[in-house]
Structure 1
Amino acid sequence: MPTTIRQATENDIDALAAISRATYIETFAAHYSTQTMTQYLESAFARSTLASEVAGRESEFWLLEVDGECGGYLRVN
């Protein structure tokens, strides 16, 4: 089971969005209404938002890949 850690690029936006949403839902769904969660997810993890953040200088995103699939990420601000 090969694993790698590498910095995310614009080519990783879809995988980053998917794991970000799944992680956020798992962590916070019990604390917020469905409407609040949906609004936040659509804003914070929109493709355009993540693309801007990945391309920006304020944050770095690092991906953990297991067998070529995104298994986690780290955001450094």
Structure 2
Amino acid sequence: MTLSITPVSVDRVEELQAISIATFTDTFAKDNTAEDLAQYLAEAYSIERLEQELNNPDSEFYFVTVDEQIVGYLKLNLGSAQHEEVGAEAMEIERIYIAPSHKRLGLGSLLITFAMVRARQAQLTSVWLGVWEHNDAARRFYERMGFKTVGSHVFMLGSDEQTDLLMQHML
């Protein structure tokens, strides 16, 4: 098995869109209406929106591949790309998703560790993320990785106002 984490360039936007839609749908379809999910996917993962995000110098995308197959991805935000004003010395993990076929193989831990390394390389003091309050498995995973709940914010999934817990890991 050959595993790699590689930066995503804008010329791979369609691959990013495909893995984004597939993994988000797998994670949240059962807990949301089809209408809200469709609206969110159309807005968050349009080619135009993803190209804007890929071209933002304060955002970084990475594919995780197994035997050259894309099985997940990671999005990191610095500075003004962050969704909360946590500070200039923080990094946001905005998206971290693994395909269902490759969950529970340690790839999530690998991506979190990769994010921590990137934050340390940038001489930052913390990494933070938002996780849906009802996503118990993800919350437990982040707690095992050393994240602590420090607040919350609203996340709109279509027309549904949801609460994300903000979790932070001090470096």
TM-score (norm 2): 0.43
- How much does 1:29 deviate? 1.0
CA distance in 2, matches of 1:31, 1:67: 32
Higher strand share: 2
Find the counterpart in structure 2 of residue 62 from structure 1. 62
CA distance in 2, matches of 1:11, 1:66: 20
Runs of 4+ in 1 over 6 A off after TM superposition: none
- How much does 1:32 deviate? 1.5
1:12 aligns with 2:12: yes
What is the identity, as a one-letter code, of the residue corresponding to 1:59? S
TM-score (norm 1): 0.89
Bigger relative contact order, structure 1 or 2, given CA contacts below 8 A and separation 6+? 1
- Over the aligned positions, Cα root-mean-square deviation in angstroms equals 1.1
- CA deviation string 1:13-69 (max 9, x = no partner): 111111111111111112221111111101100111111101112311011112222
SS at match of 2:50: helix
SS at match of 1:65: strand
What is the identity, as a one-letter code, of the residue corresponding to 2:20? S
What is the identity, as a one-letter code, of the residue corresponding to 2:7? Q
> Which blocks of at least 5 consecutive residues in structure 1 are unaligned?
none
CA distance in 2, matches of 1:67, 1:13: 20
CA distance in 2, matches of 1:2, 1:21: 24
CA distance in 1, matches of 2:11, 2:69: 13
SS at match of 1:57: coil
Structure 1 or 2, whichever has the larger Rg, is 2
